[in-house]
């Protein structure tokens, strides 16, 4: 009987694992269950730098290195860390090619996720499957979904859906806890024309500014937009007590 593996979550990690399993042994039956409705259901975050011995190695093993190179941004390695007055404490220049790179090129998270997803056999990802709980029933671990469906018969279940994964309680009683820091993320499209000064400051890389328990982050995206994050210390009920929607 071929090995059957269920992966919860079709993010970059879940899709990367499914791709690696397929490349190493195509007889393994892997299914990804994803709560979202499609690959473009919502915004998928900012940009990621992939390191040689982790993310880059996984893509090489997955046979996707050439595809990654089409989207990798070596000039995205520029980094500045400053305070609210723009006093810079750390500045790393951008690499403009492999020869001048620090070895950690950037790639937009949505692009990476879609690249991995498109590399999977058709039907690997089941959309609109939000996991409610994993139940131990007899000798099996069964997947119960919010739509009433139940999946069973898997040899291995992998939680790749974040800190609050419904698989977490099967291996640990420790629950995630609020760190005390929260914020908002937004996007500035066509940043070079709309906000040229900020665009120049980010330098096609990342700018992190911290002061007085607050932070403003800006990251260049491959489509020419800037991903902006504002973060500060908040109580757990900060969203409910906020005076805006």
HEC-encoded secondary structure of the chain: CCCEEEEECCCHHHHHHHHHHHHHCCCCEEEEECCCCCCCCCCCCCEEECCCCCHHHHHHHCCCHHHHHHHCEHHHHCEEEECCCCCEEEEECCCCCHHHCCCCCEEEHHHHHHHHHHCCCCCCEECCCCEEEEEEECCEEEEEECCCCEECCCCEEEECCCCCCCCHHHCCCCCCCCCCEEEEEEEECCHHHHCHHHHHHHCCCEEEEEECCEEEEEEECCCCCEEEEEEEECCCCHHHHCCCC
Give the C-alpha distances (Å, rounded to integers) separating 92 from 76, 78, 142, 203, 206: 11, 5, 49, 11, 10
Within the chain, which residue ranges are assigned CATH 3.50.50.60? 4-70+109-170
- Whether residue 129 is predicted with pLDDT greater than 80 in this model: the reply is yes
- Whether residue 101 is predicted with pLDDT greater than 90 in this model: the reply is no
Q: What is the pLDDT of residues 24-72, one digit of tens each?
A: 999 999 999 999 999 988 777 788 889 999 999 999 999 999 999 999 9
Among 128, 171, 153, 136, smallest CA distance to 33 is for 128
The answer to whether residues 146 and 130 touch, using CB atoms and an 8 Å cutoff, is yes
* Average pLDDT rounded to a whole number, residues 132-141: 91
The dihedral region occupied by 56, where left means phi > 0, alpha psi between -120 and 50, and beta the remainder, is alpha
The answer to whether residues 187 and 152 touch, using CB atoms and an 8 Å cutoff, is no
Q: What is the pLDDT of residues 211-237, one digit of tens each?
A: 999 999 999 999 999 999 999 998 888
Is the domain covering 4-70+109-170 a CATH 1.10.1130.10 domain? Answer: no
């Amino acid at each position: 009987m071929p090995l059957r593996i269920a992966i919860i979550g079709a993010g970059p990690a879940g899709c990367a694992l499914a791709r690696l399993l397929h490349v190493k042994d195509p007889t393994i039956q892997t299914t990804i269950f994803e709560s979202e409705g499609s690959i473009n259901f919502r915004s998928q975050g900012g940009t990621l730098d992939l390191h040689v011995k982790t993310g880059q190695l996984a893509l090489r093993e997955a046979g996707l290195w050439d595809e990654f190179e089409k989207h990798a941004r070596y000039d995205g390695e520029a980094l500045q860390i400053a305070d609210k007055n723009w006093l810079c404490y750390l500045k790393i220049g951008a690499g403009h090619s492999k020869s001048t790179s620090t070895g950690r090129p950037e790639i937009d998270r949505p692009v990476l996720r879609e690249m991995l997803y498109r590399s999977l056999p058709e039907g690997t990802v089941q959309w609109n499957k939000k996991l409610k709980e994993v139940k131990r029933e007899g000798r099996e671990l069964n997947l119960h979904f919010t739509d009433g469906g139940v999946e069973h018969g898997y040899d291995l279940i992998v939680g790749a859906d974040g800190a609050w994964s419904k698989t977490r309680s099967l291996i640990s009683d420790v629950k995630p806890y609020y760190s005390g820091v929260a914020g908002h993320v937004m996007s500035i499209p066509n940043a070079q024309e709309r906000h040229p000064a900020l665009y120049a400051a980010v330098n096609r890389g990342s700018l992190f500014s911290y002061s007085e328990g607050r932070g403003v982050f800006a990251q260049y995206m491959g489509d020419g937009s800037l991903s902006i994050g504002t973060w500060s210390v908040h109580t757990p009920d900060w969203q409910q007590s906020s005076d805006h929607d």
